Structure 1
Amino acid sequence: MSSNCVGTADFPTVIDLNVGGVFYTTSLKTLTSQEESQLFNLFTGKEPVERDAKGRYFLDRDGVLFRYVLDFLRDGTIVLPDCFREKERLKREAEKYQLHALVDAVVGEGRSRPPGVITVGYRGSFQFGKDGLADVKFRKLSRILVSGRVALCRDVFGETLNESRDPDHGQSERYTSRFFLKHSFLEQAFDMLIEQGFKMVGSCGSGTAGGAGELKPGVDTEENRWNHYNEFVFVRE
């Protein structure tokens, strides 16, 4: 990569950018639309800006998130996708570019989210190894259950939410305990809730030991005997 730097205001009206390996083409007017920003300083010659080996202006920042920076520079507003999971990273990028209005917009999106409660639960069995209890593993689950206000559950879990067991499709201002997730990764569900501003305020669990009954071929008798149910309550204020 060339370390050749530009130190004058002699920039073309159309700018080719390399932002962390992701390429963009935009206008000089867009990049200099916020006069107090670092981008304004870079593309008016107040600060030097590097070029890569092909002559594109190079910014050593997150190239994927820069698309939202450009959207803000063009329109003065920002619209993030549903279940956007990188608001903290985008806020950090906005702070680096000294785009204070963008920082406020990202933070404001979090504040505008409605309060609510979502309960996540799962039924499962303890998973045993060949040596029985000596080789017991943490858990084995097949379905994560979701309870709460329909619109809120849809907003948090998006396309990962399975509504096939819920009989009242289409009505969002109601509550249900029939949703479940399309995946069985409890940590992924927790991550999505935390990223949407929820905090876990309570949890409970229970376990049972009983007869296994008739089992399908290949099912471990001891493993099937020990079942448990766990539930976690998340709140966004």
Structure 2
Amino acid sequence: MDNDQVIEFNVGGVFYSTTVGTVKREPGRLAEMFSHGADAIPRDSKGKIFIDRDGILFRYILDYLRNQTVILPENFHEKGRLRAEAEFFQLEGLLRFLDNENRQSGYITVGYRGTFAFGRDGMSDVKFRKLARIIVCGRVALCREVFGENLNESRDPDRGPMDRYTGRFFLKHLFLEQAFDNLQEAGFKCVASCGSGTSGGSAELKPGMDPEESRWNHYNEFVFVRD
């Protein structure tokens, strides 16, 4: 078929008109349909190309193929179903668009207070890094998206909209690298960090605290951003 040829679709009972060039613009199920010849294409009783899919959502499939982007209506509530249609039609570009469209940009700050565990021989017998708690600060919706069930919200229950900010979250685990992995998997990049010095040996010690260890207390923060 010539790319300028007009074709008519019957998608789940909803009719559309477009051109062969539009449906072949991106590799996928529609482009493949026209690679096997017109005789292999299923048609309804009136000769229209028939596809047994959601006829309403197909308009966004065509919009994407025509413009290589799609503008969804405000308060569009069927993104999950539209993603399923994009998967069926094997449109990788539309899937990437939907993934990016759902992502919020913003900053998350991760901080922790820690020290090192020392053995009997002091610095020559440093055992491991000890963290007291990993603190998470940022917009509530972003923090929940990244850390999910690992986020301890007991000190900051729902107190307003999801776009509010909080500095009262912390993680249920003490694995700093796991927190970094979560941020990296969600598309965040580290853009800044800072750390305190040691506390010094003159501070009053808590009962049972090793004096050598007390001199290595520190606090660090890491700032992550997703555009």
Please confirm whether the aligned pair reaches a TM-score higher than 0.5, indicating the same fold: yes
> Residue 13 of structure 1 aligns with which residue?
none
Whichever residue aligns with residue 215 of structure 1, its letter is P
Which of 165, 170, 186 is the aligned partner of 1:196? 186
> Residue 135 of structure 1 aligns with which residue?
125
1:199 CA displacement: 0.4
Extract unaligned runs of 5+ from structure 1. 1-32, 38-74, 80-93
Q: 1:112 & 1:76 partners in 2: Cα distance?
A: 12
Q: 2:117 & 2:135 partners in 1: Cα distance?
A: 20
Which of 214, 221, 225 is the aligned partner of 1:231? 221
Which of 164, 169, 179 is the aligned partner of 2:169? 179
1:126 CA displacement: 2.1
Query: Is 2:207 aligned against 1:215?
Result: yes
Q: 1:194 & 1:107 partners in 2: Cα distance?
A: 19
CA contact (8 A) 1:212 1:225 kept: no
Query: Is 2:67 aligned against 1:77?
Result: no
> Residue 195 of structure 2 aligns with which residue?
205
CA contact (8 A) 1:122 1:231 kept: yes
1:131 CA displacement: 2.0
Q: 1:156 & 1:120 partners in 2: Cα distance?
A: 12
CA contact (8 A) 1:215 1:221 kept: no
1:148 CA displacement: 0.5
Between structure 1 and structure 2, the one with the greater Rg is: 2
Whichever residue aligns with residue 201 of structure 1, its letter is V
Structural RMSD (CA): 3.1
Q: 2:149 & 2:189 partners in 1: Cα distance?
A: 22
1:130 CA displacement: 3.0
CA contact (8 A) 2:134 2:170 kept: yes
Using the TM superposition, name which of 113-122 and 128-137 deviates more. Answer: 128-137
CA contact (8 A) 2:205 2:214 kept: no
Whichever residue aligns with residue 77 of structure 1, its letter is R
1:152 CA displacement: 1.2
TM-score, reference length from structure 1? 0.54
1:78 CA displacement: 4.1
> Residue 145 of structure 1 aligns with which residue?
135
Structure 1 residues 117 and 131: CA distance shift in structure 2, 3 A: same
Q: 2:117 & 2:101 partners in 1: Cα distance?
A: 41
| Secondary structure in 2 matching 1:119 | strand
Whichever residue aligns with residue 178 of structure 2, its letter is Q
Q: How many equivalent pairs are there?
A: 150
Structure 1 residues 214 and 115: CA distance shift in structure 2, 3 A: closer
Structure 1 residues 136 and 36: CA distance shift in structure 2, 3 A: farther
Structure 1 residues 187 and 107: CA distance shift in structure 2, 3 A: farther
Q: 1:167 & 1:100 partners in 2: Cα distance?
A: 41
1:221 CA displacement: 3.3
Structure 1 residues 183 and 107: CA distance shift in structure 2, 3 A: farther
* 1:47-126 correspondence runs (5 A): 77-78=83-84, 100-102=90-92, 104-106=94-96, 108-110=98-100, 112-126=102-116
TM-score, reference length from structure 2? 0.56
Whichever residue aligns with residue 107 of structure 2, its letter is V
